[in-house]
Amino acid sequence: MQAIKPHAVLTTNYDTLLESIFSDHAVVIGQSALKGMPFAVGEIFKFHGCVNDIEQIILTSEDYETFYKKKKFIAARLLSLFNEHPMLIVGYGANDPNVQAILSDIDEALALPGSLIENIYFVEYDAEAEAKTSLPIEKLIQIEDNRSVRVKLVVTSDLEWVFKAFKSPDNLNSIPPSIMRAILARSYELVRSDIPRTKLDVDFDFLERKLENQDEFAQLFGITTVNDASTISAKFPYSITELGKKLGGNSWHLADKLMKMIKADTGVDIKESDSRFQHMVKVNNSKFHKYSDDAFDLLKKVQAAGHCETEWLEDT
């Protein structure tokens, strides 16, 4: 089971068996599962609580009633996981209300009644499976509102081969989930690409050391530090639209008109290069110009005078 390297493990059990199997996974208990990033990598989500935190255990009928009122939030987060990863349902019966509730919400979101949900695999134990000449490969599960969903079915008397079939690629086997969580937690956006099929030789001790220091982490990826980005944002707080409105216009046109006046009078295009007036920010393939208070003061001066003098552009 460890070899699967699951992106996330979801359970309604109270015990700590999964923690002993996935020792490098973080544990998220009860209502904490409704907060933060959608099912971050390397986490065990215990929706009904845990013996290690009895305050969050869902046990009484009142507890379950409150839980089911919030299950839509859990389903919404589950969908984000389901869209990118296969789901393996192990240890639950088809009549389990938790399974039925989640599948019901997924079916409702997909809006494809009667269609096979391709990446959900329901594992069903049958001690006589090896002796049978044919086994079903799909399962119809009854859900809410007299509806049903079709999922892929794996019938087996031996779970070992099932877990091996879902095993992570060899090039990801040695990556500690804690490192992957740290990278994701420090990233504003994760851009996914195809996983390389060749073996990767990576010094994870080195990577872990880099993760301990924010600046070194940023340098590892060849990007600016958060402090640098914050400084630039503070020094150049205005978009051209904000600049135009601050000058009394309705949009960007007034600021643009004044910049063209500056270019006509002095030959200097303040949007052309970084200066004390503007800074160009690149996001993926897009470029954005941000402007400073100096730029506002300059444009205000040009607006009042009706022209621009070259010395007004000189550094002070």
Report whether pLDDT(165) > 60. yes
pLDDT in tens, 283-316: 445 567 889 999 999 999 999 999 999 999 886 4
- Which domain does 285 fall in, by range? 232-313
**Statement to judge: residues 20 and 131 lie in one domain:** yes
Alpha-carbon span 12 to 21, nearest angstrom: 16
Alpha-carbon span 61 to 120, nearest angstrom: 29
Going by DSSP bridges, is the β-strand pair 87-89/26-29 parallel, antiparallel, or unpaired?
Answer: unpaired
Vertex 41: Cα angle to 36 and 43 (nearest 5):
75
**Statement to judge: residues 214 and 280 lie in one domain:** no
**Statement to judge: residues 20 and 73 lie in one domain:** yes
CB-CB neighbours of 299 under 10 Å: 25
| Residues 6 or more apart in contact with residue 215 via CB below 8 angstroms | 225
Split at pLDDT 50, 70, 90, the class of 55 is confident
Tokens of 76: 């919404």
**Statement to judge: residues 153 and 290 lie in one domain:** no
**Statement to judge: residues 274 and 300 lie in one domain:** yes
Domains identified in the chain, total number: 3
**Statement to judge: residues 164 and 180 lie in one domain:** no
**Statement to judge: residues 274 and 204 lie in one domain:** no
**Statement to judge: residues 65 and 187 lie in one domain:** no
**Statement to judge: residues 10 and 67 lie in one domain:** yes
**Statement to judge: residues 176 and 158 lie in one domain:** no
Provide the pLDDT for residue 205: 55
Provide the pLDDT for residue 302: 94
Report whether pLDDT(224) > 50. no
* Final residue before a domain boundary, out of 182, 205, 223: 223
**Statement to judge: residues 124 and 14 lie in one domain:** yes
* Final residue before a domain boundary, out of 169, 191, 212: 169
Tokens of 163: 């877990």
**Statement to judge: residues 131 and 211 lie in one domain:** no
Alpha helices in the chain (DSSP H): 17-21, 61-69, 71-82, 97-110, 159-165, 177-185, 204-211, 214-220, 226-235, 240-246, 253-266, 293-305
Residue pair 110/149 in contact by the 8 Å Cβ criterion: no
User: Quick one: average pLDDT of 235-248?
Assistant: 88
Residue pair 84/39 in contact by the 8 Å Cβ criterion: no
Provide the pLDDT for residue 246: 92
